[in-house]
Amino acid sequence: MRTPEQGDGQGVRIGVYVCHCGTNIAGTIDVHAVAEHAAKLPGVVVSREYKYMCSDPGQELIKQDIKDHQLDRIVVASCSPHLHEKTFRGAVWSGGLNPFQFQMVNIREHASWVHTDKAAATEKADALVRAAVRRVRHHKPLETRRVPVKDSVLVVGGGIAGIHAALTLADAGRHVYLVEREPTIGGHMAMFDKTFPTLDCAACILTPKMTQVKAHKNITLWAYSEVKEVGGYVGNFTVKVRRKPRYIIEEACIGCQECIDACIYQTPKWPDEFNLGMSKRRPIYLSFPQAVPQYVTIDPEACIEFKSHKCKKTCVEACGDRNAIDFNQQEKIETIEVGTILLTTGFQVFDAKRLPYYGYGTYPNVYSSLEVERLLNASGPTSGEVVLRDGRKPRSVGIIHCIGSRDEKTNKHCSRVCCMYSLKLAHLLKERTGAEVYNFYIDMRTPGKAFEEFYNRVAEEGTHFIRGKVADVYPAPENDGRLVLQAEDTLLGKVRRVPVDMVVLAVGLEPRADAEEVRRMFNITCAAGGWFTERHPKLAPVSTFTDGIWIAGACQGPKDIPDTVAQAGAAAGEALSLINAGHIELEPNTAYIVEEDCSGCKTCVAMCPYSAIGFDAEKNVASVNEVLCKGCGTCVSVCPSGSARQNLFEDEEIYEEIGGVLAYA
Amino acid sequence: MPETTKDKAAAPAQFEPRIVAFFCNWCTYLAADLAGTTRMKYAPNVRVVRVMCSGRIDPQFVLDAFAKGADGVLIGGCHPGDCHYESGNYKTLRRYHLLRRVLHELGIEDERFRLEWISASEAEPLRAVVNEMVEQIRKLGPLHLEVPAERFAEEVEEVAVP
pTM of the model: 0.84
CA distance A334 to A68: 60
CA distance A404 to A407: 6
Chain B residues touching A657 at Cβ < 8 A: 49
What is the residue-averaged pLDDT of chain B? 87
Q: Is the Cα dihedral A494, A497, A500, A504 positive or negative?
A: positive
CATH number, domain containing residue B83: 3.40.50
Percent of chain B with pLDDT over 90: 69
Cβ distance B9 to A630 less than 8 Å, yes or no, reads no
How many separate domains does chain B show? 1
Kindly state whether residue B5 falls inside one of the protein's structural domains: no
Q: At A417, which amino acid appears?
A: V
pLDDT tens-digit series, residues A512-526: 999 999 998 998 888
pLDDT tens-digit series, residues A427-477: 999 999 999 999 999 999 999 999 999 999 999 999 999 999 999 999 999
Q: For Cα atoms A280, A285, A290, give the angle at the middle one, nearest 5 degrees.
A: 100
Size of interface A-B (CB pairs under 8 A): 154
> Which residues, numbered 119 to 158 in chain B, qualify as contacts with chain A under a Cβ-Cβ cut-off of 8 Å?
119-122, 127
Kindly state whether residue B88 falls inside one of the protein's structural domains: yes
Kindly state whether residue B114 falls inside one of the protein's structural domains: yes
Report the gap between the CA of B18 and the closest CA in chain A (Å). 8
Kindly state whether residue B106 falls inside one of the protein's structural domains: yes
Confidence at residue B143, expressed as pLDDT on a 0 to 100 scale: 87
Altogether, the residues listed in chain A come to a count of 665
Confidence at residue B149, expressed as pLDDT on a 0 to 100 scale: 58
pLDDT tens-digit series, residues A578-588: 999 999 988 89
Paired sense of beta strands A200-201 and A219-222, if any = unpaired
Report the gap between the CA of B66 and the closest CA in chain A (Å). 10
Q: Is B79 on the interface with A (CB under 8 A)?
A: no
Percent of chain A with pLDDT over 70: 98
Q: Is B64 on the interface with A (CB under 8 A)?
A: yes
Report the gap between the CA of B7 and the closest CA in chain A (Å). 11
Confidence at residue A322, expressed as pLDDT on a 0 to 100 scale: 92
Q: Counting Cβ atoms within 10 Å, is residue A321 exposed (0-12), middle (13-18) or buried (19+)? A: exposed
Say if residue B154's pLDDT is above 80.
no
Kindly state whether residue B102 falls inside one of the protein's structural domains: yes
Report the gap between the CA of A635 and the closest CA in chain B (Å). 8
CA distance A367 to A394: 12
DSSP, collapsed to helix, strand or coil, labels residue B76 as: strand
Q: Is the Cα dihedral A209, A211, A216, A222 positive or negative?
A: positive
DSSP, collapsed to helix, strand or coil, labels residue A217 as: coil
Determine the structural domain holding residue B142 and report its residue range: 14-159
Mutate to test the interface with B, among A654, A656, A664 (most CBs of B within 10 A): A654
Say if residue A665's pLDDT is above 60.
no
Phi, psi of B137 (to 5 degrees): -75, -30
Q: Is B101 on the interface with A (CB under 8 A)?
A: no
List C-alpha distances in Å: B151 to A226, A417, B72, B102, B146. 59, 66, 20, 16, 9
Rg for chain B, CA atoms, rounded:
16
Confidence of residue B146 (pLDDT cuts 50, 70, 90): low
Say if residue A304's pLDDT is above 90.
yes
Confidence at residue B12, expressed as pLDDT on a 0 to 100 scale: 54
Chain B residues touching A127 at Cβ < 8 A: 47
Confidence at residue A463, expressed as pLDDT on a 0 to 100 scale: 97
Kindly state whether residue B1 falls inside one of the protein's structural domains: no
What mean pLDDT do residues A62-77 have?
97
Q: At A261, which amino acid appears?
A: D
In this complex, the residue of B9, B33, B82 whose CB is nearest that of residue A82 is B33
Chain A residues touching B131 at Cβ < 8 A: none
Say if residue A3's pLDDT is above 50.
no
Chain A residues touching B8 at Cβ < 8 A: 664
Cβ distance B84 to A652 less than 8 Å, yes or no, reads no
Say if residue B147's pLDDT is above 60.
no
List C-alpha distances in Å: A366 to A359, A380, A400, A481, A579. 7, 17, 10, 11, 50
In this complex, the residue of A121, A546, A654 whose CB is nearest that of residue B49 is A654
In this complex, the residue of A120, A609, A649 whose CB is nearest that of residue B51 is A649
Say if residue A39's pLDDT is above 80.
yes
Strand partners, A225: A243
CA distance A42 to A523: 42
Question: Do residues A140 and A646 lie in contact, with contact meaning Cβ atoms separated by under 8 Å?
Answer: no
Q: Is B96 on the interface with A (CB under 8 A)?
A: no
Kindly state whether residue B4 falls inside one of the protein's structural domains: no
Phi, psi of A290 (to 5 degrees): -95, 20
List C-alpha distances in Å: A568 to A171, A343, A508, A542. 14, 9, 22, 8
CA distance A401 to A399: 6
Question: Do residues A648 and A586 lie in contact, with contact meaning Cβ atoms separated by under 8 Å?
Answer: no
Q: Which helix (H) or strand (E) holds A373?
A: helix A369-376
Confidence at residue A371, expressed as pLDDT on a 0 to 100 scale: 97
Q: Point out the least confidently predicted range of A233-242, A264-273, A303-312, B147-156.
A: B147-156
Confidence of residue A537 (pLDDT cuts 50, 70, 90): confident
CA distance A475 to A368: 18
Helix A369-376 to helix A418-433 angle (10° resolution) is 40
Confidence at residue A280, expressed as pLDDT on a 0 to 100 scale: 95
Cβ distance A664 to B55 less than 8 Å, yes or no, reads no
Kindly state whether residue B152 falls inside one of the protein's structural domains: yes
Interface predicted TM-score (ipTM) of this complex, two decimals: 0.87
What is the residue-averaged pLDDT of chain A? 94
Chain A residues touching B95 at Cβ < 8 A: 637
Cβ distance A110 to B33 less than 8 Å, yes or no, reads yes
What mean pLDDT do residues A260-284 have?
95
Confidence of residue A134 (pLDDT cuts 50, 70, 90): very high
